[in-house]
Amino acid sequence: MKTQFPEHFLWGGATAANQIEGSHISDNKGLSTSDIQPFGSFGALHPRQEGDFNIKDVAIDFYHRFKEDIALFAEMGFTCLRISIAWSRIFPHGDDAQPNEAGLAFYDQVFAEMKKHHITPLVTLSHYELPLHLAEHYQGWSDRRLIGFFEKYAETVFQRYGHFVKHWLTFNEINITLHHPFTGSGLPDDCSEQTRYQAIHHQLVASAKAVKLCHEIIPDGQIGNMLLGAMMYPLTCHPDDMMKTLQQNREWLMFGDVQARGYYPSYMTRKLKELGVTLEITEEDKEALKATIDFISFSYYMTGCASADPSQQDKANGNMLQMVANPHLDASEWGWQIDPTGLRYLLNFLYDRYQMPLFIVENGLGAVDTVTASGEIEDDYRIQYLNDHLVQVGEAIEDGVDLMGYTSWGPIDLVSASTAQMSKRYGFIYVDRDDEGNGSLKRTRKKSFYWYKEVIASRGASLKKPGRF
């Protein structure tokens, strides 16, 4: 079916501070957990040693080039840009009494530039980083005091930017602490289940408190959560695989359930008991959790399978997690299985479950790009991937899903979160920088740049039937 996306639909791209900004200690910025992950989230157990190179120290130098980059996004017709604020620019240690004015001023300029180009900001409060001091001196989110520090940070940025920024997200892929505790919560990756779930609880409370603050400070604002949409299919229709699938999906859906409904789902009682976890949940926490989000946002890259059969060892790599491979799907160069139909499935699934507006805030293909002798980048594989996913988004809209917008991941090449590579490129805009940090940082429009521009201008009417490129 040919769909024209709704007029109010937000089109754009998504980024994260630590993957684009660079200038990791400029203007009083404090170190963040990301700054000591030179090998990315997958290498969190090998923290930075003296003299180690971290490509994120410069990243793509958005800190100095944001005007040029935002102008390029505007040229593509973006109506929305997702960025994150680096918490450690605003509160360098996380527990500081006063915010860092230079950090606040940087985002003033970024938002002013977006305003100039009529681009709606979508801002993540915490995208895979927290001030390193909080990880080192408080054991990250396992310490209840982080709720208060986060509230103060959220209040500061809501007050400062709320006149212009109306769309907010609390924690990027809040379910990540299940798989990468350091990346998600500043905890050692081998922490106990007790510590992990207590940290998760603190984040859920902090998220709800930010929701309440946002509603108070920005009455016309909207604030959502952000899930890693890790949809699992049963590997077979064996009842045991069905049950395993239900349980695995509940692992990540639990976060949405708490954030959308305001309390823990009943299935968590048994789950926590089986894990031997006793959560400390105060009456104040229960009250705080009642502040529920306005919309559900999520990242979507792939689906995976669940199997109750321990001999099923054919694993697929995922963005941050591993799952059983689906024999019906192809995979990207990094082993992420490509499933456009799964996006329609997930949109319907989430809308059925929550009956709340949805927002796709990440989707894209990480691929190696080659620059031709004449300086062009013919990224037809990326166009194919995005086209086929957007066709399914159109189908979901026809199915009746209330979808606010779509921001593809990495509209400009940036540093990979899992592997800290530059060579894993997602962008419509090529950035001249390699994995060792060589390159001029020059920006070049790829073939997909012109393709996405046309998709946006035609509100999806230019999309082709899957497999037509």
Catalytic residues: 362
The residues, any chain, with a CB within 8 Å of residue 195's CB and separated by 6 or more, are 139, 142, 181, 187
The least distance separating ligand BGP from the CB of residue 242, rounded to whole angstroms, comes to 27
The least distance separating ligand BGP from the CB of residue 319, rounded to whole angstroms, comes to 4
Nearest CB to ligand BGP, comparing residues 174 and 204 = 174
Of the residues 416, 422, 425, 429, which one makes contact with ligand BGP according to CB under 6 A = 416
Of the residues 106, 409, 430, 452, which one makes contact with ligand BGP according to CB under 6 A = 409
Q: CA 397 to CA 401: how far, in whole Å?
A: 5
Q: Where are the alpha helices (DSSP H) in 13-144?
A: 17-20, 62-76, 87-90, 101-116, 132-138
The phi, psi pair for 436, rounded to 5°, reads: -95, 0
- Look at residue 20 and give its three-state secondary structure: helix
The phi, psi pair for 87, rounded to 5°, reads: -50, -40
The least distance separating ligand BGP from the CB of residue 19, rounded to whole angstroms, comes to 6
Site string for ligand BGP, 365-384 (x = CB under 6 A): -x------------------
Place of tokens 């997690």: 321
Site string for ligand BGP, 121-150 (x = CB under 6 A): -------x----------------------
Of the residues 167, 201, 244, 424, which one makes contact with ligand BGP according to CB under 6 A = 424
Nearest CB to ligand BGP, comparing residues 36 and 289 = 36
How is residue 338 annotated by DSSP? P
Q: CA 251 to CA 265: how far, in whole Å?
A: 11
Is 319 a binder of ligand BGP (CB under 6 A)?
yes
Q: Which stretch binds ligand BGP (CB under 6 A): 89-97, 101-109, 337-345, 410-418?
A: 410-418
Q: How many CA atoms lie within 13 A of 101 on its CB side?
A: 0
Task: Determine the length of the chain.
Answer: 469
Nearest CB to ligand BGP, comparing residues 291 and 431 = 431
Of the residues 241, 362, 369, 379, which one makes contact with ligand BGP according to CB under 6 A = 362
Number of residues that bind ligand BGP (CB under 6 A): 17
CA separation (Å) from 340 to 5, 243, 291, 330, 347?
17, 24, 33, 11, 11
Place of tokens 């290498």: 43
Q: Which stretch binds ligand BGP (CB under 6 A): 54-62, 234-242, 265-273, 413-421?
A: 413-421
Of the residues 418, 430, 446, 463, which one makes contact with ligand BGP according to CB under 6 A = 418
Of the residues 172, 177, 207, 245, which one makes contact with ligand BGP according to CB under 6 A = 172
Range 2-31, binding ligand BGP (CB under 6 A): 16, 19
The residues, any chain, with a CB within 8 Å of residue 8's CB and separated by 6 or more, are none
Nearest CB to ligand BGP, comparing residues 59 and 403 = 59
CA separation (Å) from 204 to 112, 253, 260, 295, 384?
31, 13, 11, 15, 37
CA separation (Å) from 298 to 195, 202, 225, 230, 432?
25, 20, 8, 9, 29
Q: CA 398 to CA 377: how far, in whole Å?
A: 34
DSSP count for the chain of H helices, then E strands: 14, 14
Q: Which stretch binds ligand BGP (CB under 6 A): 94-102, 185-193, 273-281, 412-420?
A: 412-420
Nearest CB to ligand BGP, comparing residues 214 and 365 = 365
Q: Which stretch binds ligand BGP (CB under 6 A): 88-96, 192-200, 337-345, 416-424?
A: 416-424
Site of interaction with ligand BGP (CB under 6 A)? 16, 19, 128, 172-173, 228, 299, 319-320, 362, 366, 409, 416-419, 424
